[in-house]
């Protein structure tokens, strides 16, 4: 009897573990960083642009700052061949994806590619539906390191099944490929995708605007502030290996420098994947300063891997904290309004216990040194309250360091 019970128990365990997707666990211990073609180039990509971007990622220092993934988005595809294998668009990518991947790898970068769980991508190219294992095999053969998997034309497909299927296909193909799920948050992937993918979009597409919504019949795209608001309540679901993705950055795509700084800062406070979306071949000095600020990037890449939280709002100023490894905190004041504002920081008002990180700010017993990460100046410590000016649609960002 006991023997049969044990056998039955083992059988059940096998069933359960084969149902659980097996993503490559060692990837994305910190939020992925890189560049993606969509926000700036949409469907107008080709191998010359991508090679140029690869060169610039190295020359500009972006790669060494951590931006290692170079991701093709929609519209790289040609047709499927007679056996159903996907090929590259022969006009845009005449040398093929394998040659491009080799070039990108020779620069010390990694290459990302894009597909869709439906029959067609959002740009009308062949999707992976019915070809999941073939596509994953082809990506592995080409040397792909990252797959963004979109959700257009999926009609009544079940998202859990569809993403699980592609995750399994990647696993079976044998190459560690970071799996970026782009399902726009419809089925709350943060509640089910931890073992399926390494990151999941939490919202519809970002729109290149600081504070507005771009409305169309049937769909909307969201400005930076709108996307920020939609992250509320999601921080407990993210952590090393599985990240909330509030979409790719619009920094350097035409917003004002203060807005770009606020956008980049808030994505770092959210421990968001930092995927640039500008034309890095022609980057202004201001954009460079923002996206290559090592101390700000370090907040995003902090190994504790806990998202920041909003602890107070007062007259359009939001107060955010992010716990960091080793006991430090990131502290950010975000001014959402179009006028400069003064804000008085009373540190003792911000004593709180964070349920996600199980850490406390403990301003009663701890004095933190204050370093301003944008001005790069030290501003004393938290033993005294202080008044600061927060410029319109901008941030004041501090690292509060313990024991110094
Ligand atoms: C969707 C995605 C975008 C982009 C486009 C490409 O809208 O959410 O990020 O990949 O498709 O067509």
Select from 122, 186, 245 the residue to mutate for testing ligand 1; criterion: most ligand atoms less than 8 Å from CB.
122
Cβ(89) – ligand 1 distance below 6 Å: no
Q: For residues 383 and 338, is the Cβ–Cβ distance under 8 A?
A: no
| Catalytic sites, residue numbers | 150, 205
Residue keyed to tokens 């410029």: 391
Cβ(116) – ligand 1 distance below 6 Å: no
Cβ(122) – ligand 1 distance below 6 Å: yes
Atom of ligand 1 nearest to the CA of 114: 10
Residue keyed to tokens 């642009």: 49
The alpha carbon of 395 and the centre of ligand 1 are apart by a number of angstroms equal to 29
Does residue 104 register a pLDDT over 60? yes
Task: Return d(Cα 354, Cα 366) in angstroms, integer.
Answer: 16
Task: Return d(Cα 324, Cα 308) in angstroms, integer.
Answer: 9
Cβ(43) – ligand 1 distance below 6 Å: no
Protein residue with least CA distance to atom 6, ligand 1: 74
**Residue ranges, CATH 3.20.20.70, the chain:** 23-300
Select from 126, 146, 150 the residue to mutate for testing ligand 1; criterion: most ligand atoms less than 8 Å from CB.
150
**Residue 28: per-residue pLDDT:** 98
> In sequence order, what are the residues at sequence separation of 6 or more whose Cβ sits closer than 8 angstroms to the Cβ of residue 134?
83, 84, 85, 86
Atom of ligand 1 nearest to the CA of 206: 9
Task: Return d(Cα 27, Cα 178) in angstroms, integer.
Answer: 6
Name the nearest CA neighbour of 321 among 362, 291, 290, 289.
Answer: 362
Q: What is the chain's mean pLDDT, rounded?
A: 96
**Residue 19: per-residue pLDDT:** 53
**Using one digit for the tens of pLDDT, what is the confidence trace for 204-214?**
999 999 999 99
Protein residue with least CA distance to atom 5, ligand 1: 122
Cβ(147) – ligand 1 distance below 6 Å: no
Structural domain 23-300, CATH architecture: Alpha-Beta Barrel (3.20)
**Fold adopted by 309-402:** Immunoglobulin-like (2.60.40)
Q: For residues 401 and 369, is the Cβ–Cβ distance under 8 A?
A: yes
Residue 5 CB coordination number (10 Å):
9
**Using one digit for the tens of pLDDT, what is the confidence trace for 287-329?**
999 999 999 999 999 999 999 999 999 999 999 999 999 999 9
Cβ(123) – ligand 1 distance below 6 Å: yes
Atom of ligand 1 nearest to the CA of 248: 9
Does residue 16 register a pLDDT over 60? no
**Using one digit for the tens of pLDDT, what is the confidence trace for 134-185?**
999 999 999 999 999 999 999 999 999 999 999 999 999 999 999 999 999 9
Protein residue with least CA distance to atom 9, ligand 1: 205
Residue keyed to tokens 């804000």: 343
Segment 225-242 shows an average pLDDT of 98
Segment 123-132 shows an average pLDDT of 98
**Residue ranges, CATH 2.60.40.1180, the chain:** 309-402
**Residue 15: per-residue pLDDT:** 47
Task: Return d(Cα 69, Cα 112) in angstroms, integer.
Answer: 6
């Amino acid at each position: 009897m006991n023997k049969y019970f044990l056998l039955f128990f083992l059988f059940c365990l096998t069933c359960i573990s084969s149902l659980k997707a097996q993503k490559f666990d060692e990837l994305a211990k910190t939020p992925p960083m890189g560049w993606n073609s969509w926000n700036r180039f949409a469907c107008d990509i080709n191998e010359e642009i991508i090679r140029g971007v690869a060169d610039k990622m190295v020359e500009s220092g972006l790669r060494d700052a951590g931006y290692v993934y170079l991701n093709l988005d929609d519209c790289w595809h040609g047709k499927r061949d007679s056996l159903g294998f996907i090929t590259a668009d022969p006009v845009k990518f005449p040398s093929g994806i394998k040659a491009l991947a080799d070039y990108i790898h020779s620069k010390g970068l990694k290459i990302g590619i894009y597909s869709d769980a439906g029959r067609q991508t959002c740009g009308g190219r062949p999707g992976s539906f019915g070809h999941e294992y073939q596509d994953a095999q082809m990506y592995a053969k080409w040397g792909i390191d990252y797959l963004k998997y979109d959700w257009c034309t999926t009609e009544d497909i079940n998202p859990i099944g569809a993403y699980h299927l592609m995750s399994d296909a990647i696993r079976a193909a044998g190459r560690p490929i970071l799996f970026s799920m782009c399902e726009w948050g419809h089925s709350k992937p943060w509640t089910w995708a931890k073992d399926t993918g390494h990151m999941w979009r939490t919202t519809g597409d970002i729109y290149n605007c600081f504070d507005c919504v771009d409305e169309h019949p049937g769909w909307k795209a969201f400005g930076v502030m709108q996307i920020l608001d939609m992250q509320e309540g999601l921080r407990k679901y993210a952590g090393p290996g599985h990240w909330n993705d509030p979409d790719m950055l619009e920094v350097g795509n035409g917003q004002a420098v203060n807005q770009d700084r606020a956008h980049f800062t808030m994505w770092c406070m959210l421990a968001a994947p930092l995927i640039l979306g500008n034309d890095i071949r022609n980057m202004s000095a201001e954009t460079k300063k923002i996206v290559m600020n090592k101390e700000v990037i370090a907040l995003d890449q902090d190994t504790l891997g806990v998202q920041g939280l909003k602890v107070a709002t007062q007259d359009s100023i939001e107060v955010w904290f992010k716990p960091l490894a080793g006991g430090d905190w990131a502290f950010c004041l975000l001014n959402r309004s179009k006028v400069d504002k003064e804000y008085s920081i009373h540190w003792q008002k911000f004593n709180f216990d964070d349920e996600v990180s199980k850490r406390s700010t403990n301003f009663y017993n701890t004095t933190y040194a204050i370093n301003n990460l944008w001005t790069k100046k030290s501003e004393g410590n938290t033993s005294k309250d202080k008044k600061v000016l927060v410029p319109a649609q901008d941030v004041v960002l501090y690292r509060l360091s313990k024991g110094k």
